[in-house]
Amino acid sequence: MSVLRWPWGSSEELVTQRLQPACAAVLAHIHAASFAHGWDEEAMAAMILDDMIQSDGLFASGQPVAPVAFVLSRCVLDEAEILTIAVSDRWRGRRASLRLLQHHLQCLAARGVRTVHLEVEEGNAPALHLYDRFGFIRTGERKGYYARADGSRATAVLMSREL
């Protein structure tokens, strides 16, 4: 667990912690608000309990089952794929994802991961900026990979980096 104090003087503290099944309902809520096709509470609980998935959250103090942001990665041998990262509406634009992803990559490295892969929609500027900032390199794209809520399709950008 590590503690983040906001640099702009807020007294609010956030801590990074491994997720637990009791967080599943909040995760499903954040996910549904973030993506066209949300994952439900049951799916979230199953992923948290899966030993191959590294699941980390960012929590406000006194809120042990209600993360403000979370990230999930599937690990196979020395490779991992970031399955999803999302920040709740109220915490967007406050660099919560920077701290969370930094912690998550450290956790992946600690369990022996050497290469991390991900896919991101080509128009998702905040996410692309976040991954660029962390040194992820674009390795390809998949046209029409994502189905948008309006029925149109969007290209996925493939990225990876070594730890």
Rounded to a whole number of angstroms, the minimum distance from the CB of residue 51 to ligand COA is 23
Q: How far is the CB of 156 from ligand COA (least distance, A)?
A: 9
* N-terminal to C-terminal alpha carbon distance within the chain: 20
Q: Is 119 a catalytic residue?
A: yes
Options 19, 97, 107, 146; binder of ligand COA; rule CB under 6 A: 97
Q: Does the active-site annotation cover 131?
A: yes
Does 117 help bind ligand COA (rule: CB under 6 A)? no
The count of other CB atoms within 10 Å of the CB of residue 48 is 20
Among candidates 69, 27, 66, which has minimal Cα distance to 49?
A: 27
Q: Which member of 41, 81, 119, 121 is catalytic?
A: 119
Instruction: Out of 19, 24, 87, 105, point to the residue binding ligand COA (CB under 6 A).
Output: 87
Please report the DSSP string for 10-42 in residue order: ---EEEEEE--GGGHHHHHHHHHHHSSS---HH
Catalytic residues: 119, 131
